[in-house]
Amino acid sequence: MFQPLSGLRVIDLTQVLAGPYSTYQLALMGAEVIKIELPGEGDATRSGMGAPALGGDKMGLPYVTQGSNKRSLTLNLKTQDGLALLKRLIATADIFVQNFKPGTARRLGVSFEDVKQMNPKIVHCSISAYGQDGPIGDRPAYDHVVQGMCGITMTTGTPDSVPNKVGAPYIDYATGLNAAFAIVSALHETRQTGEAVSLDVAMLDSSMLLMASMMTSYLSTGVAPTASGNEAQSRSPSSGAFETTKGVLMIAANNERQHHHLCAAIGRPELLTDPRWADLAERRNHTDALRDEIAATVKTKSADEWEIILNEAGVPAARVRDFAEVMGEGQLKARGITTEMTLPGRDTTVHVPTLGFKVNGAVVAPSSPPPELGGDTDAILGELGISGDEVARLRADGVV
């Protein structure tokens, strides 16, 4: 199995989605991830939405999604003993990840400057809403708040329906992937230089880079992107969403070759010889008329029929599916995008994500289920040389 991070230790002091998803990527690639959680409470997502019985048992599905392949250690960082134990762990680690509000890590004594004194070759990753600097860097936020800040809500939907939030917490997950990429890159750097690396990963930055072409276009032309409904980014009249006799079809015929294939596949070759649509420039001058012609023809068959016809003709097309439909698609099953796991001490089976790419044709899936809250506390403290009696005292004192 692909385990390039085997032998590396990650101290994971993150909560909710972005941070835990970043460390989940590292765990899938073989790193030992020790998740630090508050005794009795744990990550906020342990009590999260969905499957109330699981949430009430500190195994909420948002936590389970990115909790596999990790170890759980409970520490009360408001106690001196808890902080001391955290610092001992950091000294043994290769990577430290935290998503406190900027300034909190410094107050706890685990800022980059603090941590590199404990461990001069560590990768220190800070994940936050807006970054560690800037005029609003100290503000907290969640995915939907950053969606509002970054402008995506004003480009999603139609001009008369904005603002519209993207349905999934995509900024959280993009930030998690961004952080994982940064961490793996920094590991290579610190191995070359022998020096600690500080990483500053912001949700706002991640969200803006998901709109990189929009940023470039606006800053180069001064023309701001607007809500365009289900139209393609290319604004090609032969691309976008089309009504059919049953369902909606997404078509992407953005270049000359695809446009020619589309006209042939829908049985409208005369559209290619009409001078109004002779080339891309003319098509853009007469967009509405061409769009109406294509739409009228597409309306004669179902989306399922057109999906087959157009793809066979070399035109990218897909029937619009709801979430339940796509999760049952054979393509997703072939890709192995999720795997089944049985939660510890339960008969409950859950489906969790695998690594986002195959390696040598194989899926990289987690090998151990999400841990119970504090399920590895005794073992981890024992590895630090702490006796069972001392662990009992720490537990009685509310430290672990």
First CA to last CA distance, the chain:
34
Residue 147 to residues 16, 154, 165: CA-CA distances in angstroms? 17, 9, 7
Residue 79 to residues 84, 170, 227, 362: CA-CA distances in angstroms? 9, 35, 50, 45
- Tokens 């409470």 belong to 41
Strand pairing partners for 9?
Answer: 32
Verify whether residue 143 is a known catalytic residue: no
Residue in 172, 279, 347, 389 annotated catalytic: 172
3-state secondary structure the chain: CCCCCCCCEEEEECCCCHHHHHHHHHHHCCCEEEEEECCCCCCHHHHCCCCHHHHHCCCCHHHHHCCCCEEEEECCCCCHHHHHHHHHHHHCCCEEEECCCCCHHHHHCCCHHHHHHHCCCCEEEEEECCCCCCCCCCCCCCHHHHHHHHCHHHCCCCCCCCCCCCCCCHHHHHHHHHHHHHHHHHHHHHHHHCCCEEEEEEHHHHHHHCCHHHHHHHHHHCCCCCCCCCCCCCCCCCCEEEECCCCEEEECCCCHHHHHHHHHHCCCHHHHCCHHHCCHHHHHHCHHHHHHHHHHHHCCCCHHHHHHHHHHCCCCEEECCCHHHHHCCHHHHHHCCEEEEECCCCCCEEEEECCCCCECCECCCCCCCCCCCCCCHHHHHHHCCCCHHHHHHHHHCCCC
Q: What angle do CA 57, 62, 66 make, to 5 degrees?
A: 105
Residues identified as active-site: 172
